[in-house]
């Protein structure tokens, strides 16, 4: 099973990779893998309608036979709490939606081999935050900030804000926020990101993936 770090060492991918987030059951995990997803994400945030407990994440992962990167999404926890949850879940990576300090990020890296730092985007690109997260994260995921919610909103942001992001960070860029089959190809054409991430854009209901939407999303993300 390749990790994001191993993928990064291979150099720029020929095609943008796809992460399907908000997986809540084994059937949807297998569906996404069968359709060609490179990574699947599990939301370990109690306030989310897609919340999955650590033990349940582990149970799903143990049933996966294909080479796919597994990611646990965490928010509102300290570094210590994140590590404790990750040890139970057993994912390849943790996607952090908490605004951790430099010291807290360092604690994560002492225990977790792969950390994806989330940077919220609203009206402008938060350059200083990107620099801070880049010091410790293996990849950076950009998601939309709406009100007090930093990610998981299903809303898009102005993707053009990321056009010069590689002048700020050399970390792999993952774009999220309201992506769906009808707009993902535009993101890929504009930014050529390391990966794109979707959840609600391929669902019938929160945590219930739609096979045709998943298939269409992956096809449109890789049509170049």
Catalytic site includes residue 143: yes
Taking residue 9's Cβ as centre, other Cβ atoms within 10 Å add up to: 9
176: phi > 0 → left, psi -120 to 50 → alpha, else beta; which?
beta
The secondary element (H helix, E strand) that includes residue 209 is strand 208-209
Q: Which of 28, 92, 138, 143 is catalytic?
A: 143
* From 21, 28, 92, 197, the catalytic residue: 21
H or E element, residue 109: helix 102-111
Tell me the backbone φ, ψ of residue 39, rounded to 5 degrees. Answer: -150, 150
Cα–Cα dist 90/164, whole Å: 35
CA distance 115 to 94: 5
Catalytic annotation, residues:
21, 143
């Amino acid at each position: 099973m390749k990790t994001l770090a191993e993928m990064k060492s291979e150099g720029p991918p020929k095609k943008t990779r796809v992460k399907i987030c908000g997986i809540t059951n084994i059937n949807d995990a297998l569906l996404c893998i069968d359709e060609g997803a490179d990574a699947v994400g599990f939301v370990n945030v109690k306030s989310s309608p897609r919340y999955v407990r650590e033990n349940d994440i582990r149970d799903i992962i143990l049933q996966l036979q294909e080479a796919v990167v597994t990611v646990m999404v965490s928010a509102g926890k300290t570094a210590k709490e994140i590590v404790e949850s990750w040890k139970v879940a057993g994912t390849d990576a943790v996607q952090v939606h908490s605004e951790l300090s430099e010291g807290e990020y360092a604690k994560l890296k002492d225990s977790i081999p792969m950390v994806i730092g989330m940077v919220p985007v609203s009206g402008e690109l938060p350059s200083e935050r990107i620099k801070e997260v880049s010091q410790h994260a293996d990849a950076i995921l950009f998601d939309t900030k709406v009100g007090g919610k930093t990610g998981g909103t299903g809303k898009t942001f102005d993707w053009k804000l990321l056009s010069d992001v590689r002048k700020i960070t050399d970390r792999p860029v993952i774009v999220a926020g309201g992506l769906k089959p009808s707009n993902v190809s535009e993101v890929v054409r504009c930014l050529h990101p390391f990966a794109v991430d979707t959840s609600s854009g391929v669902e019938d209901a929160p945590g219930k993936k739609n096979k045709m939407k998943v298939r269409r999303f992956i096809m449109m993300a890789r049509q170049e």
